[in-house]
Structure 1
Amino acid sequence: MSRIDVAIPSFNYARYLPACIESVLSQGVDDIRVHVIDNASTDDSVAVARQIAARDARVSILARPANLGPHASFNTGVDWATGPYMMILCADDLLAPGALRRAADMLDRNPGAAFAYGGEVEWHAQDAEPPRLPAQDHLGWNSVDGTAYLRRRCLDPMANHSTGMVLVRTAIQKRAGHYRETLRYYDDHEMMLRLANLGDVVWTDAVLGIRRIHGCNMSNLYNGSRREDLEHRLEAFRSFLAIDARRRPDAAELRVLSDRNFAATALLWAGAAAIGGCRRECLDLLSFAASVDPSVFWRPPLGRAFRRGGRIDRLLGQWRQGRPATANGRPMTRDAIS
């Protein structure tokens, strides 16, 4: 099996770091490297990482003297990786047993694929043990060409797409380049669009990762409104479309699709806000919809959006949750594409 390089950005996660690293080293992959990138932690994260590295030559550590922010850590991981496949794994998360082997095997079988990803489960702080993984032997892998993936994302930009536990073909990641510091939020969503612009996508509904949910998640730093969340998401899409997709023959169509569906989402959420008696939020969302695509008011989102269990049910459910799901300090949603 081809070598896999796993970069682990870390900041004050000493209590989680050993389990995270062990989940990588126990994958059953013979040729693997782990690089911990510590962003000037104030706890004993560096000491913990150095103890592990002293026992296992596969582990190395970069201890920054100053906190340079998360983008610097992600991009250091991109620069460091030299094996055929790479992953950026947050220090408070875990890989499911065998996840890397299964993902790497699919990339080996699909040389045109840019990345592979799968499902996730959450491990909440109040639970002493990680969640028991469901039976997954019956769950296979799926593939879609990059253009179809991009179109699906633009048609339904609020759908859940995994942005963690993603195994990337390193050569494609190098071509895609660094995470953009101009995007404070959803930079990883934009990166998946950039990667899909350069290759196909393979995914599985099987669980590949375990995401810890705890009081110190960096996502707790985000307290924006629903409009602000939509604005950040739209910013990521437009960044991709303006920079990476500008030479695509369907670039204009993708821009129309994404704008239309962002406006439609705002319109549906505005309706939910009105029903809930949130007049100011309703007006705010209507204003956003008008600024992105005013045609949504005379061509409202109908059809499959109102099917039971379909898009409107999901969007209204997201609205009722109070604020967008977040992770890694940036609002985002995760799940396998369907």
Structure 2
Amino acid sequence: MNQAAAASPVVTIVALCYNHARFVREALDSIRAQTYPNLEVWLVDDASTDGSVAILREYAAANPAWHTLLLPANVGNCAAFNQAFRRARGEFFIDFATDDVLLPTRVAEQVAAFQQLDASYGVVFTDAELIDETSRHVRYHYRRPAPGQLHPRPASGHVFAEVLRRYFISTPTMLMRRSTLAHLGGYDETLAYEDFDFWVRAARDFQFHFLDAVTTRKRLHPGAMSRRGYRPHDPFLASTITVCRKALALCRTAEERAALAVRLRWELRLAVRWSNFAEAAELYALLREVRAVRPLDWALGHYARLRR
């Protein structure tokens, strides 16, 4: 290890693959192109069926310091990430889906940002470029309607209420402090997806920092997890409801409960729109617990109870 690497904190990239054969070479090449000198790489395959494993083995053979974890059965993103997290040694972690792409200075920029922050900060996140299946530009995560304006407006610092109220973080851009993940016990493996739960639990005890830079190319394609939400029999909606229940238990102020009500109201409307009536009834019950029911909420909740 050279002197620069020895003086730099270890950053672990957990490269999670599930049927990403079309994209995984570009993703892994972007790891190799990083300018940061002290990386630990874990290639984790969640029982792919499309030839991804052969490509992962090829890259592992060409990069002997990289680690491989080829799971015999599909366990989902949360459990797959945790298996690598428990084995890894990094001070910082990137949860990297291998259909996305890291820009070359991604790790270096985010570590430099962390080094200007105190230990109360658990996450640094950034802007992202959204790309299509052929890696062509679509748009950026944050729209910039005027100089100095970003939409959605990113929040920094104590963001617990903000992550309840609205979506503003581009998940693939996060660099997470190991101690934050350890404090949470890693991801909750009972959930179908990780980001909302991580934001809620991490933001309760740690600050988040927004770095205004584009560090990641996030791929949009029909197989992406984000494209499966809010459809009939949405596999992620039950997890969202579970996280909202956790959030209610974590709320300490009237402002935080009001922020949670905004989230519940949004999820209730989408659940009814897509005919997830049983889940809509659960969301309405949570709104009643928050004591934030409005007339339209009551109407939607009553309709959901009749239709479930």
Within the candidate set 20, 24, 33, 1:17 is matched to 24
| Aligned-residue offset at 1:184 | 2.3
CA contact 2:258–2:292 (8 Å) conserved in 1 = no
Which position in structure 2 is the counterpart of 1:86? 93
Which position in structure 1 is the counterpart of 2:126? 118
TM-score norm. by structure 1 comes to 0.69
Q: Quote the Cα distance in structure 2 between the aligned partners of 1:14 and 1:197.
A: 37
| Aligned-residue offset at 1:20 | 0.8
Q: Cα distance 1:105–1:188, how it changes in 2: closer, same or farther (>3 A)? A: same
| Aligned-residue offset at 1:93 | 0.6
Which position in structure 2 is the counterpart of 1:55? 62
CA contact 1:153–1:159 (8 Å) conserved in 2 = yes
1:151 equivalent in alignment to 2:161: yes
**Residue correspondence of structure 1 range 1-338 to structure 2 within 5 A:** 1-112=8-119, 113-125=121-133, 127=134, 129=136, 144-145=156-157, 148-154=158-164, 156=165, 158-185=166-193, 187-222=194-229, 224=231, 232-242=239-249, 245=250, 251=252, 253=254, 256-265=257-266, 269=269, 288-289=283-284, 292-293=287-288, 295-297=292-294
CA contact 2:131–2:219 (8 Å) conserved in 1 = yes
Q: Quote the Cα distance in structure 2 between the aligned partners of 1:42 and 1:114.
A: 35
Q: Quote the Cα distance in structure 2 between the aligned partners of 1:191 and 1:41.
A: 25
| Aligned-residue offset at 1:183 | 2.2
CA RMSD of aligned residues (A): 3.7
Which position in structure 1 is the counterpart of 2:4? none
Deviation string, structure 1 residues 154-209 (Cα, Å, up to 9, x no partner) = 3x2x3332222210111221111121122224x32111222223322111232221
- Identify which range, 87-96 or 68-77, moves more after superposition: 68-77
CA contact 1:16–1:91 (8 Å) conserved in 2 = yes
Which position in structure 2 is the counterpart of 1:325? none
Q: Cα distance 1:47–1:224, how it changes in 2: closer, same or farther (>3 A)? A: same
Q: Percent identity?
A: 21
Deviation string, structure 1 residues 95-128 (Cα, Å, up to 9, x no partner) = 1231111111111111321110111121112x46
Unpaired runs of at least 5, structure 2: 1-7, 298-308
Q: Cα distance 1:230–1:262, how it changes in 2: closer, same or farther (>3 A)? A: farther
- The aligned length equals 278
Q: Quote the Cα distance in structure 2 between the aligned partners of 1:109 and 1:210.
A: 25
| Aligned-residue offset at 1:296 | 3.6
Deviation string, structure 1 residues 60-112 (Cα, Å, up to 9, x no partner) = 21112222232221111321221211111001111123111111111111132
CA contact 1:189–1:236 (8 Å) conserved in 2 = yes
Secondary structure, in 3 states, of the residue corresponding to 1:203?
strand
Q: Quote the Cα distance in structure 1 between the aligned partners of 2:264 and 2:21.
A: 42
- Identify which range, 224-233 or 75-84, moves more after superposition: 224-233
Q: Quote the Cα distance in structure 2 between the aligned partners of 1:233 and 1:287.
A: 11
| Aligned-residue offset at 1:27 | 1.6
What code does the residue aligned with 2:287 have?
V
What code does the residue aligned with 2:294 have?
F
Q: Cα distance 1:118–1:17, how it changes in 2: closer, same or farther (>3 A)? A: same
Q: Quote the Cα distance in structure 2 between the aligned partners of 1:51 and 1:70.
A: 22
Q: Cα distance 1:287–1:97, how it changes in 2: closer, same or farther (>3 A)? A: same
Secondary structure, in 3 states, of the residue corresponding to 1:197?
helix
Q: Quote the Cα distance in structure 1 between the aligned partners of 2:41 and 2:190.
A: 28
| Aligned-residue offset at 1:218 | 3.9
Q: Cα distance 1:211–1:263, how it changes in 2: closer, same or farther (>3 A)? A: closer
Q: Quote the Cα distance in structure 2 between the aligned partners of 1:128 and 1:227.
A: 27
Q: Cα distance 1:174–1:213, how it changes in 2: closer, same or farther (>3 A)? A: same
| Aligned-residue offset at 1:52 | 1.2
CA contact 2:35–2:108 (8 Å) conserved in 1 = yes
Q: Cα distance 1:218–1:266, how it changes in 2: closer, same or farther (>3 A)? A: closer
CA contact 2:129–2:137 (8 Å) conserved in 1 = no
Q: Quote the Cα distance in structure 2 between the aligned partners of 1:3 and 1:178.
A: 18
Q: Quote the Cα distance in structure 2 between the aligned partners of 1:252 and 1:217.
A: 36
Which protein has greater RCO, CA pairs closer than 8 Å, 6+ apart?
A: 1
CA contact 2:161–2:260 (8 Å) conserved in 1 = no
CA contact 2:19–2:49 (8 Å) conserved in 1 = yes
CA contact 2:192–2:235 (8 Å) conserved in 1 = no
Unpaired runs of at least 5, structure 1: 301-338
Secondary structure, in 3 states, of the residue corresponding to 2:112?
helix
- Identify which range, 225-234 or 109-118, moves more after superposition: 225-234
Q: Cα distance 1:24–1:286, how it changes in 2: closer, same or farther (>3 A)? A: same
TM-score norm. by structure 2 comes to 0.75
Deviation string, structure 1 residues 188-242 (Cα, Å, up to 9, x no partner) = 2111222223322111232221111223324454453599977653431322453
